[in-house]
Structures are given as structure tokens and as C-alpha cells.
Amino acid sequence: MVDVKLHDIGEGMTEGEVIHLFVKVGDQVKVDQPLVEVQTDKVTAELPSPAEGTVKDILVNRGDVIEVGSTMVIIDNGQEENSQSQKTEKELSNDQSWKATEKKVNFSMERFDSKGPKRILAAPHTRKLARMLNVNLEDIKGTGRIGRITDEDVERFANSKTNQESALDRTDQEVPVLASGYEDIPFTGRRKAIAAKMTQSLFTIPHVTHFDEADITNLLELKATLKKLDEKQQKGYNVSLAAFFIKAIAIALGDFPIFNAKLDEEKQIIRMEKAVHIGLATDTEEGLIVPVIKHVDDKSILAIHREMKELIQKARDNKLRHDDITGSTFTISNVGPLGSTGATPIINYPEVGLMAFHKTKKMPVVNDQDEIVIRSMMNLSMTFDHRVADGGKAVAFTNRIIEQLENPEIMLVNLK
């Protein structure tokens, strides 16, 4: 027999939610065939079979939240049928230990049956099903492994209970149940992980946010020119504004490396990262997630655009790999398309800074000739860790980014 357990598929994950079962009891499986799909706080992954054989038992249900190390599926690979003489001394010892444990469990359950509350073996999903069907699990005899109560046991008992009640002549009238004025949703998975990380960041880092604005009229004109060229030549020149934002930040981080750093309080050091890896705060149906573009300082704006689009799509399709969401040194949040005019973002711990780009709108502006002209003005906010950097540095860093956005030709001459 082979126990398929949930292993760590993320950065120190402790639990995952079962969102799909690809097999059922009795199915024949091959090595690397997907068995279970699990969603953690950051990624969704298919867990493959480590052996060829028959699915002997499935110990989880869709919707269960299970801890790392929990057994999900048991596969019969034929090795259990070997004779005792062929087993090693260690295997025999393990078998005897398991039988002793099983005997203790059965004895313990019998003792609880006669002297006190019964120990109920049932998955969280099965317990929820029992509550929905108004079934007391103590009245059910489980048919699963070592007496575990399964969904089928609950449904079978509920059906028999309903049939018995319908056969009785009941004179009492049922009291109507009023609908409640609220709905409960699970605080689990990615939502729970986001909450934990935001709390850690906010209660660890003294946040300060600097607000400013940038005239991106020239940048919008450059984007429009590239779009026209792309329509003629079909070369993919129609890049998003966010790609320019990311490149401007990468160049500015080269001049202000203190914002491309991480504070290690235990070792009492500020680690200055040499490479620039930009995290993209991305809104998905499952919650916020931050895919990462690696080595932005060495990439063109066009390459950044293409990789950014690919990562965002993977995030929304729940197809991000572990490498796609780790290693960021600075994070951006492009919330302008959503209509945001300002915010105080929470830093992506343990980074030092996060910049948010907000809504762009046309406004009357007085130029250097004291003339009133219409320009496209964008708000932005720079949140930084005040333990590592001071306000003056944050303003200078922000001004360097604004300079490039207002004069995009500066970015072009800085390309490697």
C-alpha cells in the first residue's frame, strides 16, 4: 500500500484545500497520473500518483482543508500481498505496530461506546453534510477505514430516517423556518493567507506613504504612436502603460538601491538585492496574488509587457507555479484602471517599498509659459518602510520615477 500525503508545495505552507478529485475508489492509476487538485494560499497544484496500482481508499472530500502530512489517497500497488517470509524485519515490525494501533483504536471506540461520548471519525466535509441533513453522527456506524464515517454513510442514514418519519402519522404541524439575514463564507485558503501576511506586514513595518502626481501626456502619445506602428507592422509594439511603469521603477532602483532591499532584524542587517524582481499585485476571483517578473533591469519594455501579460493570465487561471510567485524585491499595484484616485498600500513583507499607480484624468495645468493647457495627470503613492529609509529618500526616488514617466525618452536611453 502507498499513502499519498499532502506535501509542502509552497513557501512553508501548512494546509491546503481540496478543490477536485480526479479518481474514485477502484480506479486503476499510473505513475504521475493526477489524483487530487489542491489550492494553497498562493498556488493551485495537481498532486500526482507516486505509484501504479488501484485506488484503495480516498480519505478526503472536495472542500476539505487538510494539513501538510495528511494522507489523502491510499493506493494498492500489490506489495501488500507478499508473503510474510518475503518481508524485511522492519516491514514486519511496522505491520505489527499498525495492527496494534488499529486494535487500540477499536478498543478505545468500544470503550467510548459503553462508558461515554463516542469518538467520531469523519472528515470536515462529512460533518458539514451531516449538519445540513440534520443527522447525528453518533447514530451512524462508519463503513470506512477503522470505522470512519463517509458521505455515503450519512446520505444512506438520512434517507432511511426520512422514510421512517414519512411512514408515521404525524399530527403536529411543522413550524416554518425563517431565512437568516446573513450568509457565512469560509475564511480559509488564500483569503486567510492574505489576512495573515497583511497583518504581519502592518504590525511589523512602520508604514509611511508619500503621494505625488505625474504628467504622463508624453507617455500616452508615445504609446499611441507605438500602437499605430503595430497596426501596420504587427510586431507587438502596442505595450501597456504598466510595462513603462515597471521599467521606470527598475531604473530608479538602480539609483536608489535602498528600496530594493530587505531588512533582517534578527541578523541586524539590510540586505541590498543586486537583481530587480518586480512583484505585480494582481486581483483575481480567489483574492490578491503577486506574480513576479524576474531581472526586470535586464529586460526591454516589450519583454516586460509580454511576461507581465502572461503572468497575470496565469494568476487569473490559477496556473501559477511556485517560481512565478517568489523572489520579488519590490512590488507595484496598478489600480488606475479600476478607478482608484489614491490609497495607502500595505508593503509586501519583507520588502522595503511598494508603489501604486492610480487613475489618470485630463486636467487644466499651468505650463512654464504661464499658459493653461490640458494635460493627462496621474496620481501615485509610494509606501516605504521608515525603519530602512527616510522621507527625503522616498521623495527623491519618486521624483526619479516621475521624471522618466514625464520624459519617456529617458527610459529609452537607459535601456541595456
Q: Which residues are catalytic?
A: 386
Cβ atoms of 237 and 226 closer than 8 Å:
yes
* Cα 54 from Cα 50, distance rounded (Å): 12
Q: How far is CA 323 from CA 10, 43, 308, in A?
A: 9, 10, 14
* Cα 68 from Cα 215, distance rounded (Å): 50
Q: At 23, which helix (H) or strand (E)?
A: none
State which amino acid sits at residue 151. D
Cβ atoms of 145 and 59 closer than 8 Å:
yes
Instruction: Give SS3 for 218.
Output: helix
Q: b/e per residue, 127-149, with b = 16+ CB within 10 A?
A: ebbbeeeebebeebebebeebbb
Cβ atoms of 362 and 374 closer than 8 Å:
yes
Q: At 399, which helix (H) or strand (E)?
A: helix 391-406
